[in-house]
Amino acid sequence: MKRLSALDALFLYMETPETPMHVASLTIFKPEAPSDDLFARFRAHTAARLDLLPSYRRRLESTPLGLDHPVWVDDQPDLDYHIRHAALPKPGGMEELRALVAQLHAVPLDRTRPLWEYTFIEGLEDGAFAVYVKVHHSAMDGVAGMATIGVIYDFAPQSGEERAPRRLVSPDPEPVDGIEIASTAIGDFVRQGFRAVASLPSVARALTKTAPNFVRDAKFLYSYVKDMPRTPFNAAISGHRVFATASLPFAEIRAVARSRGATVNDVVLALTSGALRRYLSERGALPEKPLTAGVPASVRPRGDAQLNNQVIFTVSKLPTDVAEPLPRLAAAKAAGEEAKALFSDLREFVTTNVSIIGAPLAIMGIARLWAGARAANYVWPFFNLVVSNVPGPREPFYCVGAKATHYFPISIPFHGGALNLTVQSYLDTLDFGLIACSETVPDAQRIADLIVEDFAALRAADAEAARPDFVTSIAVALAAKPPATHQPIALGEAKPERAAAHERKSPLGREIDGLAQATEALRRRLESRDADVADAAAQPDRPVAKGRRSAEPAEPAPEGEAPKQRPPEAARARKAPARSRQAGLAPKS
């Protein structure tokens, strides 16, 4: 017997008919050849792996009178119930597949059985098939769900080459009766008091560690609450769902992130912001202030294979108030850094196991009262939507020999948060799964399509910003002053010591060098011409004939002697008298 932690049990207490608390995934597989027995093979394959997944072989048992959190007890699953078969009218496309998944995701899991279901979906175009996996969030979080891939699926197309799957946790003990469950609940409550006292030193250490940041964190959270706008997503919801998908090349997203000094998660937040900005603007509902995203963050230690929830929520601004792609990415990066600082402080106080007598009944009562009163329509939201990024497998996996091509995550909308956007990487693709209330966000696929369009705009803006500015290059070359020993280089020539370096440059670099040399030669020619013009302007009395300067007029000679011609140098030394004679003034005797 294993009792649920407080965090695991919280997903049970918050569940209402309109907000089933299960998470899911949709994986698309492409067989190399058509086959008529895919479902039979899949069912047999899954049944053979159940011994390695104890969470698939247990169900919930509540404590008497709701004294404490429920416990897991062993149960033998009915495979005809848990492994289901569906088919789309051939050839089924993504639109039909999304509609079917939305219907499947709207149905709550049966708490009297193990809390999981698999639906094998055939009929997709090109012979592909899909597997929809639904598991209650009380049983595992997104990171834990990723661990089941290596158990249910294979990492090689042929069974003879596959790695042996690893058991995630040890098997549960035999079932126990109600008396033992009740006595254990009371014992846990008593022990919880001792554990609370024993934990005081660690709490004191956490307070000491985070005290310097208390004012900063308080201001940070207050600014989020104060500035948070209300959107159409922040309303009470129904139990009907709509599912949307988008896929982007992971390598290109990572390249843009690196060129901007950002992370992949920053790019995801920026793309989400850009898509929501356009979506809300098209509907006349774009607020002036930026939206806020609730961002789940895992606190699971590395190597922890327990299939429970180890996650906390932090918040991050979505720069929906920024119009251009690159500034929007910069704003998303800054918001992400703020959120990380808050997260580092919050994780110091994370606890996953608190037992309080009567807590189940109290929390369930509050959840039902909140849903029945549709309070989300009036109460200000904690955040506008949930955006989650879950790292996926970096190697291909297979189902009955067929390779997985896409792996879409599907999460939970709730009262006050009608839209949930979860992202998961797989191989070279980033797959987006959007799940929403169909009455509040009926056209969720429009948001998914806008994410793809916004990435195209971001990629184009990044490429444009990376191009060299030729005007700036020329201006820099003109402004550069050559060293004193610099000698002009004729066009088409290069100094020997520069030739090798010139050849090593890229074509674009050589083109820039050529432009700089041509500009330098032009500058020197213009300087030489300006000097000649200035010299001529300083001597306006020197007529020019046939390209030669005229001789200076002769000086008056004494009576009886021939006039003397003044040498050109002497004439230039006596410019003023020469100008006076040209003006008709007689020289002094």
- Residue 247: count other Cβ atoms within 10 Å of its Cβ: 18
Q: Tell me the three state secondary structure of residue 261.
A: coil
Catalytic annotation present for 85: no
Contact 20, 367 (CB under 8 A): no
Q: Tell me the three state secondary structure of residue 49.
A: helix
Q: How far apart are CA 403 and CA 155, in angstroms?
A: 9
What b/e sequence results for 90-129 when a residue is b if at least 16 CB atoms lie within 10 Å of its CB, and e otherwise?
eebebebbbebbbebbbebbebeebbbbbbbbbbbeebbb
Q: How far apart are CA 362 and CA 303, in angstroms?
A: 35
Beta strands in 66-213 (DSSP E): 71-74, 83-92, 116-124, 129-136
Q: How far apart are CA 384 and CA 285, in angstroms?
A: 13
Question: Cα-flanking dihedrals φ and ψ of residue 579, to 5°?
Answer: -65, -35
398 CB contacts (<8 Å, ≥6 apart)? Answer: 29, 153, 154, 155, 156, 157, 404
Dihedral (CA of 163, 165, 168, 171) sign: negative
Q: How far is CA 165 from CA 74, 303, 388, 433, in A?
A: 22, 16, 28, 27
Class of residue 348 by CB neighbours under 10 A (exposed 0-12, middle 13-18, buried 19+): middle
Q: How far is CA 49 from CA 56, 168, 171, 339, in A?
A: 10, 12, 13, 40
Question: Cα-flanking dihedrals φ and ψ of residue 205, to 5°?
Answer: -65, -40
Q: How far apart are CA 183 and CA 160, in angstroms?
A: 49
Strands 22-30 and 402-410, by their bridges, are: antiparallel
Q: Tell me the three state secondary structure of residue 521.
A: helix
Q: How far apart are CA 411 and CA 386, in angstroms?
A: 9
Give the active site residue among 69, 137, 406, 415.
137
Q: How far apart are CA 582 and CA 541, in angstroms?
A: 8
- Residue 240: count other Cβ atoms within 10 Å of its Cβ: 15
List the one residue out of 202, 182, 192, 166 whose CA is nearest residue 51: 166
Place of tokens 């249910």: 152
Q: Tell me the three state secondary structure of residue 446.
A: helix
DSSP state of 159: T
CA 103 to chain centre: 28
Question: Cα-flanking dihedrals φ and ψ of residue 396, to 5°?
Answer: -70, 150
Q: How far is CA 397 from CA 83, 184, 253, 452, 514, in A?
A: 20, 42, 22, 26, 52
In the structure encoding, which two tokens stand for residue 512, read together?
A: 């820039």
Q: How far apart are CA 425 and CA 112, in angstroms?
A: 34
Helical segments of 260-358, H only: 264-282, 325-346
* Catalytic residue set: 137
